[in-house]
């Protein structure tokens, strides 16, 4: 590029300090907005782990990722903290917890949920019905004695429709929205949780 083709300001030297600051702003701009926008929960905010690791089904895992985002859009983080896909992927990449080398068992799943400090787990499996997509959902608590609870099967003509219906059902689930027992704190008056 010749000097005559360069913008007028291109030949000026930018101070090193401004260059570093510019790189910092560029990195922050590239950072996912969902991670920046969601503040950490208070100690009594219930934490939800939505997953599909008990199978090797890539459709179920993709559905779990999309349901995490859909629930985050429907429920304020002050009412329900949904563990994000980036959190789960970074924890798994760091080796905490291990991949276990196979599809996860209920014991593996509970161990992971305890490591993530989750209060509840939503386990998904996706299937194809005669003319619909079906998502089977099991809600379980990470504690060893917690019984697994099969929730109604979600059916829709498309995967996106089934994801939307399931996200709506999770957003209305009063068991998931129960506050932790660490305090009697409630969300702010202008935030509705159920």
Residue 16: how many other CB atoms lie within 10 Å: 8
Nearest to 133 by CA among 106, 107, 160, 109: 160
How does pLDDT run across 111-139, given as a tens digit for each residue? 888 888 888 999 999 998 789 999 999 99
Fold observed for domain 42-172: Rossmann fold (3.40.50)
Torsion region of 101: left, alpha or beta (phi above 0 gives left; psi -120 to 50 gives alpha): left
pTM of the entire predicted model: 0.71
Helix (H, G, I), strand (E, B) or coil at 139: strand
Of 62 and 144, the one with more pLDDT: 62
Mean pLDDT score, 1-29: 46
| CA atoms of 31 and 28, how far apart (whole Å) | 5
Determine the Cα–Cα distance for residues 135 and 22; give it in Å rounded to an integer: 45
Domain boundaries, the chain: 42-172
Strand order in the sheet with 81-82: 81-82, 47-51, 120-128, 133-140, 149-156
- Give the pLDDT confidence of 67-122 residue by residue, as tens digits: 999 999 999 988 899 999 998 888 888 776 666 667 788 888 888 888 888 889 99
The larger pLDDT score, comparing residue 103 to residue 58, is at 58
Span between the terminal Cα atoms of the chain, in Å = 61
Cα separation, 194 vs 169, in Å, equals 11
């Amino acid at each position: 590029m010749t000097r005559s083709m360069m913008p007028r300001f291109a030949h000026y030297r930018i101070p090193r300090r401004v260059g570093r600051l510019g790189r910092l702003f560029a990195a922050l701009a590239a950072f996912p907005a969902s991670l920046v926008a969601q503040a950490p929960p208070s100690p009594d905010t219930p934490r939800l782990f939505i997953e599909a690791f008990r199978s090797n089904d890539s459709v179920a895992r993709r559905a779990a990722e999309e349901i995490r985002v859909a629930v985050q859009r429907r429920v304020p983080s002050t009412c329900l903290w949904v563990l994000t896909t980036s959190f789960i992927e970074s924890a798994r990449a760091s080796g905490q917890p291990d991949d276990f080398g196979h599809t996860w068992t209920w014991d593996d799943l509970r161990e992971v949920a305890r490591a993530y400090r989750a209060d509840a787990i939503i386990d998904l499996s996706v299937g194809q019905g005669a003319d619909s997509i079906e998502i089977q959902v099991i809600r379980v608590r990470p504690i060893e004695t917690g019984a697994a609870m099969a929730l109604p099967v979600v059916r829709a003509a498309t995967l996106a429709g089934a994801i939307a219906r399931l996200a709506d059902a999770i957003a209305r689930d009063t068991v998931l929205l129960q506050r932790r027992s660490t305090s009697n704190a409630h969300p702010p008056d202008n935030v509705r949780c159920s």
